[in-house]
Amino acid sequence: MQKKVQLYRLLLILLLITLVVISLFVGAYNFENSVLNTFLNLFTGSERISASDHFVLFQLRMPRIIMAILIGSALAVAGTCLQGMFKNPLASPDLIGITSGAVLFAAVTIVLGASIRPFIPEALHYSLISIMAFVGAILTMSFVYKMSTTNGRTNIVILLLSGVAITALTGAATGMLTYLSTDEELRNLTFWTLGSLAGANWTKNLVLAIVVITGLLFLVGKGKALNAMMLGERDAQHLGIDVEKTKKQIVIFSALMVGTAVSFAGTIGFVGLIVPYILRLLFKSNYTVILPLSIILGSIIMVLADTISRVIVQPAELPIGILTAIMGAPVFIAILIRFKKTL
């Protein structure tokens, strides 16, 4: 088992590195030298690359790739942890309303930000959308969790229905804000609802990296706790697991990472659904294995989706949220079909 895990980890890392290199050199921009020469010059230092090539590589494409890796790993780990906590493969940030709640609060900030900022310390103005997206994510997560949990037991039907209800409610509120928005605000709202990494830069990546790495450090180590909770919360407590503390940490850090991802890239759905489903096909529900691998696989899916979004309709760009939905919907249908067969 250990050798199998190491093999898959190595293969996934090699695939991620390959995709990063391809994504770095593929797109609408034509390099002054051939792609091969630019690649060799970049990594061997035999010649200096031109200023325009350097700008495209290090100020446009590399920040996008880094943001894709950070967001992909965050959404994948958050989805994996939520599925483990709720003991159901249908629980993911977008399906239970976390993403839509984060989008709503980001939309409130975009449309009503001028009225909100005077009451907030100036130091928080730059990160106001991120803070509000996090608040929206954690409020919706808390609401769905409380609605679907009674005496420590989670009813998955109520969980999904609560997610549908909160998504409909926040969607209606976001629609109202869209109706009231100006042309500039409408463009920003369109960005949030469709998802894009076009706004990536090194400053945003630094903030995102701090949040995501902090969240990953707390959540990836919850593999043993989640494995124990799969046996039942009472059994997990007998094994020395602080179940309520673990749940709260998963809720807070999942909401933090999802809210921050939404604040920088908008709505990107289904990543938290696809990744744990694929990994469970290989390793069952062993979260000590799945959680670390979900970081790499989530990064791979996001880098792949972002590369396709930049290439498929050149020189324009297809919103990445559309691509992840196209990739994720068949997986969601496959999960439902498997569930149907077990009934």
Give the pLDDT of residue 343. Answer: 58
The residues spanned by each domain of the chain are 63-342
CB 57 within 8 A of CB 49: yes
Give the pLDDT of residue 33. Answer: 67
Contacts for 297 with CB less than 8 Å, ≥ 6 apart:
12, 76, 275, 278, 279
Which residues share a beta bridge with 154? Answer: 149
Q: Is the peptide bond before 315 cis (omega within 30 degrees of 0)?
A: yes
Q: What is the DSSP letter of 268?
A: -
In the chain, beta strands by DSSP E: 149-150, 153-154
CATH 1.10.3470.10 for the 63-342 domain, yes or no: yes
Give the pLDDT of residue 62. Answer: 92
3-class secondary-structure state, position 93: coil
* Burial (CB count <10 Å: 0-12, 13-18, 19+), residue 302: buried
CB 343 within 8 A of CB 59: no
* Residue given tokens 């190595």 in the structure block: 10
Give the pLDDT of residue 44. Answer: 60
Give the pLDDT of residue 36. Answer: 58
Q: What is the mean pLDDT of each run of 10 residues along the chain (343 residues)?
A: 85 94 85 64 63 84 94 94 84 82 87 77 72 84 82 73 89 88 81 83 91 94 90 83 84 85 85 89 88 95 93 84 85 76 64
Give the pLDDT of residue 91. Answer: 79
In 58-210, beta strands by DSSP E: 149-150, 153-154
Give the pLDDT of residue 43. Answer: 63
